[in-house]
């Protein structure tokens, strides 16, 4: 028998998802009373959910003022990106050494969904499927801890990128789908070294963009 998530967990998921999808942009001051009214619950599960989000570094509570959705800095985002790139490069090194196979069907599905999201201006779908592409790469090694690290940073990654695109709608995404497409093409040809090169070049490109205060 499948257990339903607790009310606290449901409230937490809803608030977090609204942050990820840009409904609550960084810099927004939320009210516990308004959240409770919006979600149709008492303040108790809202307070509990806010406490978890605060521990995760996503919000900050100010007594008598409300709950601030925190901004994720370029430096924080870049450090997260470095972690994700480093893990993928490591996986590909081990894949070469052990002659491991990648799940090309899943990679193709993530890539197709990412392309569809781009065409539909669905920023959340675009970046979510990009992370699912990354997750599939990591799962090649069957290391649950590496996948867990991706899960730890997923919310901050998505919140940063989706909120940025919402604030600057004319700044269209480009790098993730280009790199994922090239990586997929190389992996289909069993050219893992070529996939590594594509990811490494993306990393250096992004480092240069951040140096000039831009984003990807």
State the pLDDT at residue 213. Answer: 57
Write the CB contacts of 63 (distance below 8 Å, at least 6 apart in sequence). Answer: none
β-sheet bridge partners, residue 69:
59
Domain enclosing residue 187, as ranges: 74-211
Q: At 15, which helix (H) or strand (E)?
A: helix 7-20
* Final residue in a domain of this structure, among 17, 41, 69: 69
* Final residue in a domain of this structure, among 36, 52, 69: 69
111-143 burial: b if 16+ Cβ within 10 Å, else e: bebbeebbeeebbbbbbbbbbbbbbbbbbbbee
Same domain, 104 and 174: yes
* Contact in structure between 114 and 130 (CB atoms under 8 Å): yes
Q: Which two tokens stand for residue 144?
A: 């649950």
Helix (H, G, I), strand (E, B) or coil at 29: strand
Cα–Cα distance for residue pair 181/166, rounded to 1 Å: 24
Same domain, 78 and 50: no
Q: Is the pLDDT of residue 210 over 80?
A: no
Same domain, 86 and 43: no
CATH of the domain at 86: 1.20.120.530
Q: What is the mean pLDDT of the segment spanning 52-67?
A: 94
Is residue 2 situated within a structural domain? Answer: no
Same domain, 188 and 132: yes
Same domain, 124 and 171: yes
Q: Is the pLDDT of residue 1 over 60?
A: no
Greater pLDDT, 138 or 208: 138
Cα–Cα distance for residue pair 78/100, rounded to 1 Å: 29
Residue corresponding to tokens 């599905």: 109
Is residue 30 situated within a structural domain? Answer: yes
Instruction: Convert the pLDDT of each residue in 135-173 to its tens digit.
Output: 999 999 999 999 999 999 999 999 999 999 999 988 888
In 1-155 the beta strands, taken as DSSP E runs, fall at 29-30, 59-62, 66-69
Number of domains in the chain: 2
Is residue 129 situated within a structural domain? Answer: yes
Same domain, 63 and 78: no
Residue corresponding to tokens 């990393």: 203
Phi, psi of 60 (to 5 degrees): -140, 130
Same domain, 57 and 96: no
What single DSSP character describes residue 72? P
CATH of the domain at 12: 1.10.10.10
């Amino acid at each position: 028998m499948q257990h339903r998530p607790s009310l606290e967990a449901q409230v937490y998921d809803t608030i977090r998802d609204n942050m990820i999808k840009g409904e609550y942009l960084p810099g927004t001051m939320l009210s516990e009373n308004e959240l409770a009214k919006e979600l149709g619950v008492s303040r108790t599960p809202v307070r509990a959910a806010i406490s978890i989000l605060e521990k995760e570094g996503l919000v900050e509570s100010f007594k008598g003022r409300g709950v601030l959705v925190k901004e994720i800095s370029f430096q924080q985002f870049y450090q997260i990106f470095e972690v994700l790139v480093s893990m993928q490069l490591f996986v590909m090194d081990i894949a070469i050494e052990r002659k491991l196979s990648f799940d090309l069907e899943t990679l193709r599905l993530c890539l197709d969904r990412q392309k569809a999201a781009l065409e539909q201006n669905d920023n959340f779908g675009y970046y979510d499927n990009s992370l699912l592409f990354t997750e599939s790469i990591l799962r090649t090694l069957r290391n649950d801890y590496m996948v867990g690290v991706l899960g730890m940073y997923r919310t901050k990654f998505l919140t940063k990128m989706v909120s940025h695109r919402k604030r600057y709608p004319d700044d269209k995404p480009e790098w993730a789908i280009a790199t994922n497409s090239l990586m997929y093409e190389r992996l289909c040809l069993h050219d893992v070294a070529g996939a590594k090169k594509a990811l490494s070049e993306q990393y250096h490109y992004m480092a240069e963009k951040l140096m000039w205060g831009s984003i990807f």
